[in-house]
Structure 1
Amino acid sequence: MSSAQSGTPTLDAAKKTGFATSSGLELDEMTGSHVAGHIDLGPQHHTPWGIVHGGVYTTAIESAASVGASAAVRGRGMVAVGLTNTTHFLRSLTSGTVFVDAVPVNQGRTQQLWRVDIADDEGRLIAHGEVRLQNVEAPPR
């Protein structure tokens, strides 16, 4: 399920990768200029205090930025790997669906910067993050 252009994953392949999938992130759209997805939150995402763990949001932010940035450089036989992830937690939740929306701020030859927002089903911003990524040669698959 890799792209014929290189070893970078397609949307279908990205939807089936282990770590992000285990967090509940479902990708609905993936291009080199926009990534959208959602997570149906439940008890499996809770801290011992009954609220959603911040790592769920951090994982979604890193994953959305990485697949979008990789899609942007797929035609060059490259993938993008995270250098920094800054996540701001703005509201706590216990359940519901959150929506992940990622867009590039800058897409350079060697690095990219992506902005990712996570909102609840009422449109309230729950978490916000930025991920800086390095464009590197895709590993053989």
Structure 2
Amino acid sequence: MFDKARVLEMCKQFSKNTLMETLEIEFTDAAEGMLQAKMPVNPRVHQPMGLLHGGASVALAESVGSAASAMFVNTDEEEVRGIEISANHLKSKREGMVYGTARIIHKGRSIHLWEIKITDEEGALISLCKLTNMVLPRKK
């Protein structure tokens, strides 16, 4: 049975002392085949023109998509590696909050494919990303 509280706590623990903590990414919702996180848009994630940096959007997408794959594996025996990510940036954002929502497209034994939509507070699509993760045996 899916345990939302356990998944969100796992994501919180994974984020300590990482880029997710630096970018203030916080995991906010989870369901079977879906994970969501939010990230504030402020000067910490701006590009020189004062807009949300595309790289920060991609970091949010890869963070939420990789953590989502971890929901499907035994993290004591397996680990997840992002092997390809693509992003289409559709709208700019100067301030506020963005939300990355990952939804599974394909869940194989060794490959997971995710669609990650990054939206703003009003639900406007900021970026559309696709992430491929590989599941590997954990090295002892």
Q: TM-score, normalised by structure 1?
A: 0.85
What residue in structure 1 maps to residue 33 of structure 2? 33
Change (3 A) 1:75 1:59: closer
**Aligned-partner Cα distance in 2 for 1:139–1:31:** 29
What residue in structure 2 maps to residue 137 of structure 1? 137
Change (3 A) 1:116 1:17: farther
**CA shift at 1:15, angstroms?**
3.4
**Aligned-partner Cα distance in 2 for 1:29–1:122:** 17
- 1:72 alignment partner, SS class: coil
AA in 2 matched with 1:74: N
What residue in structure 1 maps to residue 12 of structure 2? 12
What residue in structure 2 maps to residue 96 of structure 1? 96
Q: Which runs of 5+ in 1 are unaligned?
A: 1-8
Q: TM-score, normalised by structure 2?
A: 0.85
**Aligned-partner Cα distance in 1 for 2:101–2:87:** 14
Aligned length: 132
Q: Which runs of 5+ in 2 are unaligned?
A: 1-8
**Aligned-partner Cα distance in 2 for 1:68–1:41:** 22
The reply to whether residue 60 of structure 1 matches residue 55 of structure 2 is no
AA in 2 matched with 1:116: I
- 1:49 alignment partner, SS class: coil
Sequence identity percentage: 22
Please report the RMSD computed on the Cα atoms of aligned residues, expressed in angstroms: 1.9
